[in-house]
Structure 1
Amino acid sequence: MRPALPARVRRLVDTTVAFITAHAGPLGAAGLGLLAFLALYGPAALNPTRLSWLIRDDFSQHLLGWLFFRNEPLRFPLGTIDGYLHPLGTTLGYMDAIPWVALLLRPFSSLLPVNFQYIGPWLCACLVLQGAAAAWVARRMSATVAQQWMVGGLLVLSPTLLARMGMAHEALSAHWAILLLVGLHLVPQRDARDAKQSLGIALALCVFAAGVHPVIAVIVLALAVALCARTALERTLPWQWTVLGAGASVGTVLALFYVFGYLGTVHTLRAEAFGSFSADLAAFANPLGYRDILWSRFLAALPRQGAQYEGFGYLGLGVLFALGASLILAARDAPRVARHWRRLVPLGLVALGFGFFALSSRITLLGELLADLTPLYAPVMPWVEPFRSSGRFVWPLYYVLALGSVLALIRLPRPAVAPSLLALALALQVFDVNLGQGQQSREGSTWNTQPSEALRAAAVGRKHLVLYPPQMHDGSGRGCRAGPMDFHRWAYRAYRLGLTFNSGYVARLDDSRAQPYCLGLDDDIRSGRLDPETIYLSIPERLHEFQAIRGTRCVQQEQLWMCVLEPTPPAPLRQASE
Structure 2
Amino acid sequence: MRAGAGQAARPAGTEGGVIRGWLRDHGWLPLLLGMAACLAAFGLKPLWPAHDLWLSGNPDHGMHWLGWLFFRDQPWAWPPSRNPAYGLELSSSIFFSDPIPLLAFAFKALHRVVPINQYFGLWVLACFLLQAVLAWQLLGRWIQPAASRAFGCLLLLFAPFFLWRIGLHLALVGQWVVLAALLIATRTRDARRHAWPWALLLPAASLIHAYFLAMAATLWAADLFVRATDRPATIRPARLAVEAIAILALTAAALAFGGFALMPGGIAFGDGFGHYGMDLLGPVLPLPGWSFLLAPRLLPDQSEAGANFVGLGGLLLLAAATVAVTTRPALLGGARRHWALGLGLLALLVLSWSNHVSIAGHPLAVLPIPDALRPAFDALRASARFAWPAVYAVVIAAMVLVHRRWHYAISHRILFLAAALQIADTAPGWLSNRMFFAQPQAAWPTALTDPFWDAAGIRYRVLRELPPNGQPDHPRWRDVMLLAQRHGMATDMVYLARVDRGAREAARAEARRRVARGDFAPDTLYILQPSVLGAVRASHDPERDLLAEIDGTLVLAPGWRRPFTAAAEPAP
Would you call these one fold, judging by a TM-score over 0.5? yes
Cα distance between partner residues in 1 of 2:548 and 2:272: 42
AA in 1 matched with 2:107: L
Inter-CA distance 366–454: structure 2 relative to 1 (3 Å threshold): closer
Contact 1:270 1:385 in 2 (8 A): yes
Residue in 2 aligned with 1:4?
Answer: none
- Paired residue for 2:461, among 443, 460, 463? 463
Residue in 2 aligned with 1:493?
Answer: 483
AA in 2 matched with 1:380: L
Matches for 1:331-480 after TM superposition, within 5 Å = 331-335=326-330, 337-338=332-333, 340-375=334-369, 378-434=371-427, 435-438=430-433, 439-441=435-437, 442=439, 446-447=444-445, 459=457, 462-467=460-465, 469-470=466-467, 472-474=469-471
1:154 has 2:155 as partner: yes
Cα distance between partner residues in 1 of 2:564 and 2:235: 80
| Greater alpha carbon shift after TM alignment, 173-182 vs 328-337 | 328-337
Structure 1 residue 458, shift from structure 2 partner: 5.0
Cα distance between partner residues in 1 of 2:372 and 2:19: 59
1:563 has 2:553 as partner: no
Inter-CA distance 108–386: structure 2 relative to 1 (3 Å threshold): same
| Deviations 1:220-269 (CA, angstroms, capped at 9, x unpaired) | 11112222333443758314344444443333323322332324457415
AA in 1 matched with 2:135: A
SS at match of 1:466: strand
Cα distance between partner residues in 2 of 1:235 and 1:295: 49
Structure 1 residue 308, shift from structure 2 partner: 4.9
Contact 1:225 1:249 in 2 (8 A): no
| Deviations 1:505-554 (CA, angstroms, capped at 9, x unpaired) | 11111243324424533543553433233344568967856872554467
Residue in 1 aligned with 2:51?
Answer: 50
Cα distance between partner residues in 1 of 2:95 and 2:564: 45
Contact 2:82 2:92 in 1 (8 A): yes
Inter-CA distance 323–239: structure 2 relative to 1 (3 Å threshold): farther
Residue in 1 aligned with 2:205?
Answer: 209
Structure 1 runs not aligned, ≥5 long: 1-13, 476-480, 571-578
Cα distance between partner residues in 2 of 1:501 and 1:308: 29
Residue in 2 aligned with 1:175?
Answer: 175
| Greater alpha carbon shift after TM alignment, 201-210 vs 485-494 | 485-494
AA in 2 matched with 1:74: W
Structure 1 residue 175, shift from structure 2 partner: 0.7
AA in 2 matched with 1:156: L
AA in 2 matched with 1:368: H
Structure 1 residue 163, shift from structure 2 partner: 1.8
Cα distance between partner residues in 2 of 1:23 and 1:565: 71
Cα distance between partner residues in 1 of 2:467 and 2:32: 46
Residue in 2 aligned with 1:284?
Answer: 283
SS at match of 1:45: helix
Cα distance between partner residues in 1 of 2:548 and 2:270: 40
Structure 2 runs not aligned, ≥5 long: 1-15, 566-572
Cα distance between partner residues in 1 of 2:529 and 2:350: 47
Contact 1:295 1:433 in 2 (8 A): yes
Structure 1 residue 440, shift from structure 2 partner: 4.0
- Paired residue for 1:260, among 244, 258, 270? 258
TM-score (norm 2): 0.83
SS at match of 1:280: coil
| Deviations 1:165-222 (CA, angstroms, capped at 9, x unpaired) | 22x2111121111022223334x51x62x3345x432321112101011111100111
Cα distance between partner residues in 2 of 1:509 and 1:502: 11
Matches for 1:237-248 after TM superposition, within 5 Å = 237-240=234-237, 241-248=239-246
Contact 2:480 2:493 in 1 (8 A): no
Residue in 2 aligned with 1:131?
Answer: 132
AA in 2 matched with 1:527: R
SS at match of 1:505: coil
Matches for 1:272-351 after TM superposition, within 5 Å = 272-288=271-287, 293-302=288-297, 304-335=299-330, 337-338=332-333, 340-351=334-345
AA in 2 matched with 1:258: A
Cα distance between partner residues in 1 of 2:242 and 2:361: 44
Cα distance between partner residues in 2 of 1:426 and 1:53: 28
Cα distance between partner residues in 2 of 1:333 and 1:234: 30
- Paired residue for 1:109, among 105, 108, 111? 111
SS at match of 1:423: helix
SS at match of 2:51: coil
Residue in 2 aligned with 1:8?
Answer: none
AA in 2 matched with 1:285: V
Inter-CA distance 359–415: structure 2 relative to 1 (3 Å threshold): same
Matches for 1:86-101 after TM superposition, within 5 Å = 86-101=88-103
Structure 1 residue 121, shift from structure 2 partner: 1.8
Contact 1:471 1:504 in 2 (8 A): no
Cα distance between partner residues in 1 of 2:298 and 2:117: 41
Structure 1 residue 415, shift from structure 2 partner: 3.7
Structure 1 residue 361, shift from structure 2 partner: 0.8
SS at match of 1:370: strand
Structure 1 residue 123, shift from structure 2 partner: 1.8
| Deviations 1:336-391 (CA, angstroms, capped at 9, x unpaired) | 642x233211111011111111111121111112222125x555222111011111
Contact 1:280 1:365 in 2 (8 A): yes
Residue in 2 aligned with 1:3?
Answer: none
SS at match of 1:437: helix
Structure 1 residue 66, shift from structure 2 partner: 0.7
Contact 1:470 1:503 in 2 (8 A): no
SS at match of 1:110: coil
SS at match of 1:353: helix
Inter-CA distance 98–236: structure 2 relative to 1 (3 Å threshold): farther
Matches for 1:65-80 after TM superposition, within 5 Å = 65-80=67-82
Contact 2:160 2:308 in 1 (8 A): yes
Cα distance between partner residues in 1 of 2:458 and 2:102: 34
Contact 2:34 2:128 in 1 (8 A): yes
* Identical counterparts, % of pairs: 23
| Greater alpha carbon shift after TM alignment, 93-102 vs 446-455 | 446-455
Cα distance between partner residues in 2 of 1:450 and 1:364: 43
Contact 1:532 1:564 in 2 (8 A): yes
AA in 2 matched with 1:495: Q
AA in 1 matched with 2:226: R
Residue in 1 aligned with 2:523?
Answer: 533
SS at match of 1:371: strand
Contact 1:45 1:120 in 2 (8 A): yes
Inter-CA distance 461–429: structure 2 relative to 1 (3 Å threshold): closer
Contact 2:450 2:551 in 1 (8 A): no
Inter-CA distance 367–539: structure 2 relative to 1 (3 Å threshold): closer
Taking only aligned residues, the RMSD between alpha carbons, in angstroms, comes to 3.4
Cα distance between partner residues in 2 of 1:336 and 1:310: 34
Residue in 1 aligned with 2:30?
Answer: 29
| Greater alpha carbon shift after TM alignment, 73-82 vs 152-161 | 73-82
Residue in 2 aligned with 1:230?
Answer: 226
Structure 1 residue 471, shift from structure 2 partner: 5.5
Cα distance between partner residues in 2 of 1:66 and 1:364: 38
SS at match of 2:111: helix
Aligned length: 537
Inter-CA distance 66–545: structure 2 relative to 1 (3 Å threshold): farther
Contact 2:448 2:479 in 1 (8 A): no
Contact 1:280 1:363 in 2 (8 A): yes
